Amino acid sequence: MSTVQLLQVVIAFFGSIFPAVLFNIDRKKIGWAGLSGALGWSAYLLVFNVTQNAIASTFVGAVVVGCYSESLARKLKTPAFEFLIPGIFPLVPGFTAYTALRYIAENNMSQALSKGVLALAVGGSIGFGIMLSTTIFKFFTKLKNIRLYGKS
């Protein structure tokens, strides 16, 4: 990772803390929420440096954020979305989506379409990343309960 990318990880940490304050997060968990965003963005960068593919990188980032939130939620006994929601903020394709809008305003429809589809795909991969990690965790929790208590 280059220095710019390290700086981005630090900004991702703070960029996850500030929205969490807007959602009135428990004061003791602010740091954990920030770590969620920083981890997600680090995973994004690691994959992006190899593949140069924003969609795949965002997917991996979202899976990491999801796994981190679900496991921390089980450890601290709080709802998982306290870390999930701040964590996805750095992954959101804000700049791409805005570029698509600007092309629409400039009447440049072919560019708008290509940027818009990219923004949609990145947004969708966040959704599927969260879905995948949450379902896996849900599946294994059920499996553990069945093994331990003989019921779900």
Partner 1 sequence: MEAKKVAEIATSAGEILLSNGAEAYRVEETIKKICSSYGFNGECISTSTGIFISISDQEGEFVTSVKRINLRRVDLYRVELINSFSRGLAENPLPYEEAKNKLREIYNAPNFSLGIRLLAAGLTAFSYAIFFNGGILDALVSLLISFGIYLLLEYISKIGSFQFLEYYLSGFIIGAVSLAIGSFFPQINKDNVITGAIIVLLPGVALTNGIKDLLYGDYVSGFAKLGEAILIIVAMSVGIVTALSIFMKWF
Residues making contact with partner 1 (CB under 8 A): 8, 11-12, 14-15, 18-26, 77-79, 81-82, 84-85, 88-90, 92, 94-95, 97-99, 101-102, 104-106, 127, 130-131, 134-135, 138
User: Minimum distance from CB of 78 to partner 1 (Å)?
Assistant: 5
- Quote the tokens at residue 34: 């920030």
User: Minimum distance from CB of 116 to partner 1 (Å)?
Assistant: 10
User: Minimum distance from CB of 18 to partner 1 (Å)?
Assistant: 4
**How far apart (Å, rounded) are the C-alpha atoms in residues 84 and 106?**
36
- Quote the tokens at residue 40: 């997600």
**How far apart (Å, rounded) are the C-alpha atoms in residues 99 and 48?**
20
DSSP letter for 77, please: T
3-state secondary structure of 66: helix
* Residue (17 or 60) nearer to partner 1, CB: 17
Task: Centre a 10 Å sphere on the Cβ of residue 125 and count the other Cβ atoms it contains.
Answer: 22
Contact 122, 49 (CB under 8 A): no
Task: Centre a 10 Å sphere on the Cβ of residue 62 and count the other Cβ atoms it contains.
Answer: 27
- Quote the tokens at residue 125: 């991969």
User: Minimum distance from CB of 150 to partner 1 (Å)?
Assistant: 19
